[in-house]
Structure 1
Amino acid sequence: MGRRLYSTTLYALMPLIWQRVWRESLPERSRRERLGHIPDYREERVLWVHAASVGEVTTARSLIRSLIDDYPEHRVVVTTMTATGARQLVTLFADLVTHHFLPLDFPGAAHRFIERLQPELGLIVDTELWPNLIHAASDAGTPLAVVNGRITPKAFRRYRRFDALMRESLSRLVWVGAKSGEDAKRFRTLGVEARNLTVTGALKFDLDIDETRLGAGEALRASWGDRPVWIAASTHDGEEQAILEAHRQVLSQLPDALLILVPRHPQRFDTVYETCLAEAMTTVRRSRQEGVRPETQVYLGDTMGELMLLYACADMAFVGGSWLEDVGGHNLLEPAALGVPVLSGPCLESLREVADALVVEEARREVADGHALGRVLLELFDNPAERERLGTVARSLVDAHRGALALTRRHVARLIEARRLAYLMEEEGVEPPS
C-alpha cells in the first residue's frame, strides 16, 4: 500500500520531476534513459554501480577502479543522476566503464532498466534509496547493496515519516556497508537486518592519489613563482562573494597572493568569472589555458576532474558548501590527503564525522564568514610552521583511517560468489538452502 501511494504521488508530480531532470542530460545520450530505455546487456556479465553526482563518483573512484581490475570479465556500468557526475566519470575512467542515467523511480521505468541491465550485483554509493528500483531488483533476483552507506540526521527524520515504505524496501537489500556506527544504527532502525549490516568506515579515506597529477600540480605551482597561493574549492552561489572579500583582505597585506577559485557546478563557471571581474579582480581561466601572470589575482579552475591537481598547487584550502546549511559541506579529505591545511565553514552536516575527527586532531580551522576566513589566511600565511603542522596532522588522519575499500572489496567478492553459486544451482535445478 505504501509503495502504491508513493508511485501515485510520483506520477502526479511527473511534470515537475521531468522539468527538473530535463537539463541533466548529455547531447549524445537519449533522455529516454530516464524511463529505463537502455541497451540490452543480458548476454554480458555486468556489475552495476550507482553514484548520484560528482561527490559520489569521486567517493566511489577507488571502488570502481577495483571492480575494473578485480573482474575483467565483467562490464562495469555506472549510473548517475546528474550530467556533472557523468562528465566526472568520463574524466576519471574514459571508456573503461559504461555510463547511463538512472531511470526515474516509476515502477515501469525501474523494471525496464533492471530487465535490460540484469547485473550480477548492484552497488548504491552513499544513500539513494529508490523504493521502486529496489523492488524491481529484488523481484528480478538481482542482489542490491549499499556501500559507504550514510544517513544524515535530517534524512533519517525524513525517512522515518515513511517508515513502512522504507522498512519494506530496505529489508530487501542484501548488504549495507555503513560509514559509521551511527549510520549503521539508523539503517538498522529503518529495517536493515543486523546480519546484513557492517561498519566499514568511509571510502573517502581510501583516496586514490594520482602521482602524475600531483607532479603536474607541483610543476604548475612552480611556474607561478614564489607567491602565496590558496584555493577555495567546490564553492556555491552565495559563497564566492565572501571568498573574494577574504581574498581582498589577504591582498591588502600580501599583494602578490593568488586565489584558485573552483566552483562546484560547471554551469556556474561563466557567472563566477563575471563576478570576479565585477569585483575588479584580475582573473584568468584555466579552461582557456590562460597563464598566470604576476598581476593575476584569481585563477578560475573552470575544468572538470582536476581538483586534486589544483589542491596540490595550494598552501591552504577552503572547502566550499560549508557556509550553506542546505548543502552541508563537501569533501574535506581531498586536501587533507595531500597535506594541505583544511579550512571550512561550520555547515558540515553531510560529513560531520570526518569534520569532527579533523577538529579533534586539530587538523581543521573553522571560519564563520569571509572576514574570518581572511583573518585566518593571513595568520597562517605568516606562520609556515603552523601550516605545516595542520597539513601533516590532516594527512596522518587520512592514512590512519584507510581500510574501508579493502573491507568493501571482501564483501563485494562474497556477494558476487554467492550470486554465481545461486545461478549454477538454478541451472542444475537445485533448490537453494533456506
Structure 2
Amino acid sequence: MARFIYTLAVLALLPWALLHLLWRARRQPEYLRHWGERFGRFGGAEVTATAAPTLWLHAVSVGETRAAQPLVAALRERYPGHRILFTHMTPTGRATSEALFGDDVERIYLPYDTLWAMRRFLRHYRPAFGLIMETELWPNLIAACREAGMPLCLVNARLSLRSAKRYAAFPALTREALRGLAAIGAQTADDAARLGALGARGVTVTGNIKFDIEAPSAQLELARELRARYGRRPVWLAASTREGEEALILDAWQRVGAGNTALLVIVPRHPQRFDEVARLAMERGFALQRRSENASVATTTQILIGDSMGEMFAFYAAADIAFIGGSLLDFGSQNLIEAAACGTPILIGPSTRNFAEAAREAIACGAARTIAGADDLVRQVLGLLADDASRRAMGEEGRAFAERHRGATALTLELISRAVR
C-alpha cells in the first residue's frame, strides 16, 4: 500500500518534472536533451540474451560518478566480459562519466521512478546486476529488480542524520526498499547504524571508495603545467564552491587580504555557474582570467576561474592550500579526500555532514583545519602561506590519512561477488 501511494504521487508529479527540466534548461541547456530516457524510452535495439552481459552502475551526479572510478577498474578486472552501463540523473554527472570513461562505458539517464519505466529499462538493457552508488533509494526500481530476479546492491552508502530523518518519515516504504536490496555496503559504522534503524538488514561496513581514487599521471602532469602558468607566487584554491559561497570569499579576500599578491583559484561545483562566478569577481574589480583561456596567468591577475571539467586533482596538486567548498554555507561539504591524497593542506568550514567522519579524522590528525567564516578563512590562508613548515606538515598528514583508509574497493567487490553468487 505504501508503494502504491508513492507511485500515485510520482505520477502526479510528472508534469512538474517536465516543468523542472525546462526551468533548469534556462541555465543548463543540456537538460533539454535525452528526455525519452527519463520516461523509459531508449535509442538502439534491446540487448539480446546472447549479447555480452551488462554491468550497471547508477551514479546520480558528479561526486558519485567520480567515486566510482576505482570500483569500475576493479569490476573490469573481475568481470572482463561485461559491458558497463552508467545511469545518471544530472547532465553534469553524465558529462563527468564522459570525461572519466569516454566511450568505454555507455551512459543514459535513469527513468523517473514509475514501475512501467523501470521494467522497460530492465528489459531493454538486461543488466546481470546493478550497483547504486552512495544513497539513492527508488522504491519502484528496487521492486522491478526483485521482480526480474536481478541483484541490486547499494554500495559506498552514506546516510547523514538529516537524510535519515527524511527517510524515517516514510517508514514502511523505506523499509521495503532497503530490504529489497541484495547487499548494502556502508562507508562508516554511523551510516550502517542509520540504515539499520530504517530497516536495512545485514549492512556491511566497507569504507569509503573515494579513498582508493589515485591521481592519474595525466592529472599530475597537468598540475605541473598549471603551476608553471601560475608563476612563482603563492596559490590558494577554493574548490567545488557552492552558490553564495564565492561572494563571501571574494568579499573577505578583498577586505582581509587586501594587497596580498597570492593567486586565488575558484572552481565552482557546477559548470552552469562558471559565468556567474566570473561576473561576481569582475563586479568587485578583481583582475580575472579563466582556465579555459589555456594561457599563462598574468602577474596582475588576482582571480582564476577553474571553468573546466575533470581537472580537480590537477587543481589540488597545483595549489599551496585548498578550501573545501560546500562547507562555508550549509551544504554539508564536498569531498576533502582528493586534496588530502595530493598532500595539499586543507581548510574546511563548519558544515561537514556529507563527510562528517572523514572531516573529523582529517582535523584530528592535522591534515585539515576548521574555519569559522569567510574572514577567518582568509586569515588562516595568509597565516599558512607565511608558514612553510606548517604547510608541509599538513600535507604529509594528509597523504598518510588518505593512505590509512585505502581498501574499501576490495571489500566492496567481495560484497558484490557474494550478492551476485
Report the TM-score, using the length of structure 2 for normalisation: 0.94
Asked whether the equivalents of residues 61 and 208 of structure 1 are also in contact (C-alpha less than 8 Å), the reply is no
Paired residue type of 1:385: A
In structure 1, what is the equivalent of residue 400 of structure 2?
396
Asked whether the equivalents of residues 344 and 364 of structure 1 are also in contact (C-alpha less than 8 Å), the reply is yes
Report the Cα distance in structure 2 between the residues aligned to 1:250 and 1:296, rounded to whole angstroms. Answer: 18
Cα deviation, residue 234, structure 1: 0.6
Corresponding position of 1:12: 12
Structure 2: distance between partners of 1:168 and 1:117: 25
Per-residue CA shift, 1:13-63, capped at 9, x if unaligned? 222222224437748952110011124223430000000000111111111
- d(CA) in 2 for partners of 1:139 and 1:15? 28
Q: Out of 343-352 and 58-67, give the one that drifted further.
A: 58-67
Q: Which residue of 1 aligns with 2:246?
A: 240
Q: Secondary structure at the match of 1:340?
A: coil
Q: For structure 2, which runs of at least 5 residues remain unmatched after alignment?
A: none
Contact residue 256 and residue 375 of structure 2 kept, 8 A: no
Aligned counterpart in structure 1 of residue 158 of structure 2, from 117, 142, 150: 150
Query: Is contact 1:250–1:377 with CA below 8 Å preserved after alignment?
Result: no
Residue 302 (structure 1) shift: 0.3
Q: CA 1:157/1:28 → structure 2, altered by over 3 Å: closer, same or farther?
A: closer
Of stretches 38-47 and 168-177 in structure 1, the one that deviates more from structure 2 is: 38-47
Query: Matched residues in 1 for 2:48 and 2:284: separation?
Result: 56
Which residue matches 1:410? Answer: 414
Deviation at residue 323 of structure 1 after TM alignment: 1.9
- Cα distance in 2 between the residues matched to 1:21 and 1:175: 33
- After the TM superposition, which of the residue ranges 363-372 and 340-349 deviates more from structure 2? 363-372
Structure 1 vs Structure 2 CA RMSD = 1.6
* 1:251 CA displacement: 4.6
Shift of 1:253: 4.7
Distance (Å, rounded) in 1 between the aligned partners of 2:31 and 2:252:
38
Runs of 4+ in structure 1 deviating by more than 6 angstroms, as ranges, are: none
Distance of 2:238 and 2:195 partners within structure 1: 34
Cross-structure match for 1:265: 270
- Aligned partner of 2:286 in structure 1 is 281
1:223 equivalent among 219, 224, 229:
229
For these two proteins, the number of residue pairs brought into alignment is 413
CA distance in 2, matches of 1:144, 1:310: 35
Alignment partner, residue 254 of structure 1: 260
1:110-146 CA deviation, whole Å, 9 max, x = no partner? 1111121221110000000000000011101110001
Work out the percentage of aligned pairs sharing the same amino acid.
41
Equivalent residues of 1:224, 1:292 under 8 A apart: yes
**Residues 305-320 of structure 1: pairs in structure 2 closer than 5 A:** 305-320=310-325
One-letter identity of the residue aligned with 1:3: R
Q: Deviations over 1:313-369 (max 9, x none)?
A: 1000001111222x2110011111100001111011111111111121122111122
Secondary structure (helix, strand or coil) at the match of 2:184 reads strand
8 A Cα contact 1:233 1:263, kept in partner: yes
1:11-410 paired onto structure 2 within 5 Å: 11-22=11-22, 23=25, 26=30, 29-38=33-42, 39=44, 40-43=46-49, 44=51, 45-194=53-202, 197-249=203-255, 251-255=257-261, 257-325=262-330, 327-410=331-414
Query: How many angstroms apart in 1 are the aligned matches of 2:31 and 2:157?
Result: 32
Q: CA-to-partner distance for each residue in 1:191-232, whole Å, 9 max, x for gaps?
A: 2222xx211011111112212211220232023321010000
**CA-to-partner distance for each residue in 1:249-295, whole Å, 9 max, x for gaps?**
5653532x101110111111111111111111111111232431111
Write the letter of the residue equivalent to 2:205.
Answer: V
- For residues 28 and 263 of structure 1, the distance between their equivalents in structure 2, rounded to whole angstroms, comes to 22
8 Å Cα contact 2:183-2:416 kept in structure 1: no
Helix, strand or coil: the match of 1:13?
helix
1:362-382 per-residue CA deviation (whole Å, 9 max, x = no partner) reads 221111221111100111011
Q: Secondary structure at the match of 1:120?
A: strand
The 2-side partners of 1:136 and 1:183 are apart by: 26
C-alpha distance in structure 1 between counterparts of 2:103 and 2:345, whole Å: 35
* Distance of 2:388 and 2:147 partners within structure 1: 59
In 2, Cα distance between equivalents of 1:119 and 1:52: 18
- 1:214 alignment partner AA: L
User: Does the aligned pair in 2 maintain the 1:249–1:374 contact within 8 Å?
Assistant: no
Alignment TM-score, normalising by the size of structure 1: 0.92
Cα separation, 2, equivalents of 1:127 and 1:54: 14
